Chain A
Amino acid sequence: MNLSKILKNTFLVISACLILSACATKKVSEVGGQIQGDVYVGSDTVEYLASGVPDRVFFATNESILTTRSRDTLRKQATWLRKNSDVNVVIEGHADERGTREYNLALGERRANAAKDYLMTYGISASRISVISYGKERPVDSGSNPLAWSKNRRSVTVKAN
């Protein structure tokens, strides 16, 4: 990723925060400030591969772009995986229930691969990472509301062995 792209992404994130803080104070307080720019930032469903290494990252609706926060999580995973070179992982990609089943299968695969690619750029061999998409088949929160949906738009790194 070149510098201009990084800058552009940062700018997007900043502008998204600005828009949110400007117009959505009520919305954020409704869900306890757990969603930022359509992405879940809470810790409700999160599990840990090891102390301080969260197992999952969250996505905006229809997106597979990794947020700054997600990249931070994945770097922690990469660091941990480098130290634990005998561990292989499966990355499970998921979507929320607000999309057609087949498209969501593809979207889940795309999200899992976004996470995989990022781990690979931090030195984790592709042979240690497999991906599987569950589309919208395995929500972690059964609710039908924006907060539940934001928790379900995720990719989860799971130990394979």
Chain B
Amino acid sequence: MNLIRILIVLLFIQFKAYALIEVDITRGNLNPLPIAVSPLSSNKESQAEFEKILEKKNIGSEISLVVENNLKLTGLFNPLKKDAFLQKPDIAHLKPRFEDWALIKAQALITGKVEIVDEKLRVEFRLWDVLAAKEMLALAFTTVPSNWRRVGHIITDKIYERLTGEKGYFDTRIIYVSEEGPKTQRIKKLAIMDQDGHNLKYLTLGNELVLTPRFNPTNQMVTYLSYFRNLPRVYLLDIETGEQEVVGDFPGMTFAPRFSPDGKKIIMSFAMDGNSDIYTMDLENRVVERITNHPSIDTSPSYSPDGKYIAFNSDRSKYQQIYVMKSDGSNVKRISFGNGLYGTPVWSPRGDLIAFTKLHKGKFYIGVMRTDGSGERLLTENFYQEAPSWSPNGRVLIFYRETKTDDKGEGFSAKLWSIDLTGYNERLVPTKTDASDPSWSSLLSN
């Protein structure tokens, strides 16, 4: 008996000593991993170049701050304070003195180097397991200097992937609707920003009402609803060129657009004579197909990632519920059966879950269910919130939340929020103005 116990203890110690760090992202993490993000080192000449090109003194520190902020916001990591670091960045990058890092309780360490080579930004970084005293990852890449924030995001993606075993979601952007002005006369503009709120750009001027922007799979195009000339229609916008066009030639309102997973079609609702049905338009040959034909409201269509199914919202059973059908419109099945109303189904990029908005007893919830409607799980409850959009790895949802207007007609706000699939780590996503209708891009680089 004692012998067995000793053996187990020995095995355990061995395991402890040799296994590299792993971060479990399937549960809410109450003990975020202590991680030291050493500033990326750079030499004098490169620093002078950075200052000339980017007007930033120490780009290495700035990049490491991007990484640190990303890691912190996941709730899975606890970046340690830099003033406790004992080893200089350049020396740590060559060979960390693991005892020093263990002393400040770091379990993982990120080091790196950044320089200007032929007017390009060259970055290398390493991830170290402090307790095992081992290198876990070493990578280098080159880009244009103006991309320096993206460098921080790409580093975070690689580190997240190495430590959790899943792709990251940091080198991504969010498109949303910026809101300003009184509630009865809101000015709305399309806005795009990096996932962490930087590099904000407006894509429309606010002359007409715009709603529900969504990226195509390559993130170059956006489909959205515009009230241009007071005709609410689905539009297609090329983000790089600014060119835009109406999608199809419908004699009435088209709305609730999304791209098919291959990016070749737009699926949307078309409303005519008080009835909304779901249609697709092929962007190459402009062929329009009717997918549903029912006197009820059919809207908010969202494809499964393999393109074989469509989840949508319908009130054919009197109130708003979620339905799934084959992509040709056959085999319609209701999947939401809980108490309350259900809307805005969005298929997870992993294919196994559908996120939704639920209204029950005057409260709004963001939740997820399996694609057959089983396993419903509500992640967050509030006065008003809707329109979840998945991070590309299917681990985080972004949505918008509105607050109540008080008796004086004040206090209204619309903000973006994110929450992990675990139901933990709910966070306000800072935006310059009020914001709604967020849509998360896929990874910009792979």
Using a CB–CB cutoff of 8 Å, the interface residues on chain A facing chain B are: 62, 64, 97-103, 105-107, 109-110, 112-114, 117, 132-134, 137-144, 148
* Chain B interface, number of residues (Cβ within 8 angstroms): 46
The answer to the question of B255 belonging to the interface, with a C-beta cut-off of 8 Å to chain A, is yes
Task: Note all chain A residues with C-beta closer than 8 A to B252.
Answer: 109
A100-B343, A142-B409 are contacts. A105–B300 as well, Cβ < 8 Å? no
Most-contacted residue by chain B among A98, A107, A110, A144 (CB, 10 A): A144
Residue of A nearest to B231 (CB): A132
Task: Note all chain B residues with C-beta closer than 8 A to A138.
Answer: 184-185
The answer to the question of B56 belonging to the interface, with a C-beta cut-off of 8 Å to chain A, is no
Q: Which of A98, A105, A112, A133 contacts B359 (CB 8 A)?
A: A98
Task: Note all chain B residues with C-beta closer than 8 A to A109.
Answer: 252-253, 271, 274, 276
Q: In the complex the two chains form, is B320's CB within 8 Å of A105's CB? A: no
Q: In the complex the two chains form, is B253's CB within 8 Å of A137's CB? A: no
Task: Note all chain A residues with C-beta closer than 8 A to B386.
Answer: 100-101
Q: Which of B186, B273, B320 contacts A103 (CB 8 A)?
A: B320
Nearest Cβ on chain B to A111's Cβ, whole angstroms: 8
A106 to B211 Cα, complex, angstroms: 14
Task: Note all chain A residues with C-beta closer than 8 A to B384.
Answer: 97-98
CB-CB contacts below 8 Å: B208-256 with A = 209, 211-212, 225, 230, 232, 252-253, 255-256
A58 to B45 Cα, complex, angstroms: 71
A12 to B182 Cα, complex, angstroms: 38
A113 to B273 Cα, complex, angstroms: 6
Residue of B nearest to A139 (CB): B184
Please give me the 6 A-B residue pairs with the lowest Cβ-Cβ distance, nearest first.
Answer: A113-B274, A100-B343, A142-B183, A106-B276, A144-B404, A106-B297
Using a CB–CB cutoff of 8 Å, the interface residues on chain B facing chain A are: 182-186, 209, 211-212, 225, 230, 232, 252-253, 255-256, 269, 271, 273-276, 297, 299-300, 313, 315, 319-320, 343-344, 357, 359, 362, 383-384, 386-387, 402, 404-407, 409, 412, 436-437
Nearest Cβ on chain A to B241's Cβ, whole angstroms: 28
Q: In the complex the two chains form, is B359's CB within 8 Å of A99's CB? A: yes
Nearest Cβ on chain A to B201's Cβ, whole angstroms: 23
Q: In the complex the two chains form, is B300's CB within 8 Å of A102's CB? A: yes
Residue of A nearest to B185 (CB): A138
Task: Note all chain A residues with C-beta closer than 8 A to B412.
Answer: 142, 144
Q: In the complex the two chains form, is B271's CB within 8 Å of A100's CB? A: no
Q: In the complex the two chains form, is B405's CB within 8 Å of A133's CB? A: no
Task: Note all chain B residues with C-beta closer than 8 A to A112.
Answer: 274
A133 to B276 Cα, complex, angstroms: 12
Q: In the complex the two chains form, is B274's CB within 8 Å of A101's CB? A: no
A140 to B185 Cα, complex, angstroms: 9
Q: In the complex the two chains form, is B211's CB within 8 Å of A100's CB? A: no
Q: In the complex the two chains form, is A110's CB within 8 Å of B274's CB? A: yes
Task: Note all chain B residues with C-beta closer than 8 A to A114.
Answer: 274
Nearest Cβ on chain A to B209's Cβ, whole angstroms: 6
A97 to B209 Cα, complex, angstroms: 16
A112 to B275 Cα, complex, angstroms: 11
Nearest Cβ on chain A to B436's Cβ, whole angstroms: 8
Task: Note all chain A residues with C-beta closer than 8 A to B343.
Answer: 99-100, 102-103
